[in-house]
Amino acid sequence: MNVILAAEEGGGGGLHFPPISHLVEWPGILFKDTPFEVNKVVLLMWAAVIIVFGLFWAAGRAASSGRLVPSRVQMVVEGGIDFVRKDIILQTMGPAGMPWTPFLTTIFFFVFVTNIFEVIPGIQFPVNARMALPAFLALMVWVIFNVVGVKSQGLGGYFKSMLFPPGVPKALLPLVALIEFISTVFVRPFSLAVRLFANMLAGHLLLVTFAVLSAALWTAAPVAVILPLPFAMLVLLTGFEVLVAILQAFIFTILAAVYIGGAMHPEH
């Protein structure tokens, strides 16, 4: 573990914080020094895909078994689906957005699983603390809502609704059109990716900081009296990061729903 190595580096007992590059960059395991290099981050992404698929497969199998009492996995998955339907889709897209339930539910569960790896012992790394995955997910959402907009409104109608919002004075139309173009084409995917990446990286750095402090103070007898403070902060931050993992999955999913819904219904 990077935290343990940092605390023990230089003879032990000292306070040694690892550089950020050691916290987010991992050596390759397979296909090293190639575009297809496999490292810990890639393995965690694969694991997240398998976990999400396994959850839905197990829940679907339990639901089709005819059992009167749903299994725990079934309750978790069905609760997640109901949450996405009622609190995300209906609130942002309306009933017309129901066909997007599978996609948005998968996004929610996948982002949550990749986030929650941060507090799992032995893993302790959120995949979204690397920019690659948030950027890929944001780019996917960007492509989808633009395709939906063109399909729903036509190419000309989509660009007209995107660049020229109703009610804007004619004198301001050129400026507003430029702002809307930059916002939709560049700012939306960038902010969607950076928001997820920055929050998970910041939380990861905080947990590492207090873990290093706790490890260092544990071996420093004269300051053992203040050990409970950093350790308590570490425990509290771990619980807080669980909430952040859920919240960031919710924010990413609801923004994806807002963008897709806006492309489907520009008047909204």
CA distance 163 to 44: 40
Q: Residue 42 corresponds to which amino acid?
A: V
Express each pLDDT in 3-23 by its tens digit: 444 444 444 445 566 666 666
Question: What integer pLDDT is reported at residue 222 of this predicted model?
Answer: 53
pLDDT beyond 60 at 241:
yes
- Cβ partners under 8 Å of residue 209, min gap 6: 17
Q: Helix 101-116 vs helix 228-264: angle between axes, to the nearest 10 degrees?
A: 160
Name the pTM for this structure.
0.84
- Cβ partners under 8 Å of residue 20, min gap 6: 205
Question: What integer pLDDT is reported at residue 63 of this predicted model?
Answer: 77
Largest Cα–Cα distance of the chain, in whole Å? Answer: 72
